[in-house]
Amino acid sequence: MDTLFGGPFELEDHTGKTRRDSDWDGQFKLIFFGYTNCPAICPTTLSDITDALDLLGESAKNIQPIFITVDPERDTQEVLADYVTAFHPSLVGLTGTEEKISQVAKSYRVQRHKILLSEEDHSNHGSGHGMDDDVNYDAAHSTLTYLMDRHGKFVTLFPYDTRGDVMAERLRGYLPGNS
């Protein structure tokens, strides 16, 4: 089951640094794919991850939360840098070229595609939803959070809307000294 999801990747983090999946060898990785213009699912999931890590206290140092964009066209390093500060302080935002994002999304079996918006749909987003006048689309994507072990092997999935307390309890069972 260790090859069901995951694989090596090399992307740019929200500080501009090149990051590889192997940078976090020795830590569990909690990986979520989303985009910064997402109005509900992404911020809810990242808030649940933040809550879980807060509830884990010191044990959270064994887990690296990672947010990988499915919308590299809009989610630049600068945009991610601003976005991730709203969540857990250890959250790393990753972006890259369309080719690199497609490759990592495929290795995690993430479904993603653009939904072109009509002028009416576009105007209904209103201000504050990150919709630029020249970028008239939304990004649909899978909503799972992946837990990878200290060696990068798949452990389990958390479906959308897994509350932080439930996630924390499940994570505790995988952490050293808690199984």
Q: Is 38 annotated as a binding residue?
A: yes
Q: At what angle do helices 41-56 and 164-172 cross, to 10 degrees?
A: 50
Render pLDDT for 118-139 as a digit per residue (tens, 0 to 9): 655 544 444 334 444 456 866 6
Q: Is 88 a known ligand-binding residue?
A: no
* Superfamily of segment(s) 10-172: Glutaredoxin (3.40.30.10)
Q: What are the structural domain ranges in the chain?
A: 10-172
- For β-strands 154-158 and 145-148, DSSP reports them as antiparallel
Task: Look up the pTM and report it.
Answer: 0.85
Q: Does 113 appear as a known binding residue?
A: no
Residue 113: predicted pLDDT: 57
pLDDT digits (tens, 9 = 90+) for 7-43: 999 999 999 999 999 999 999 999 999 999 988 899 9
Q: pLDDT per residue over 149-176, tens digit each?
A: 999 999 999 999 999 999 999 999 999 8
Burial 112-136 (b: 16+ CB within 10 A, else e): beeeebeeeebeeeeeeebbeeeee
d(CA 158, CA 150): 18
Dihedral sign, Cα of residue 130, residue 134, residue 138, residue 139? negative
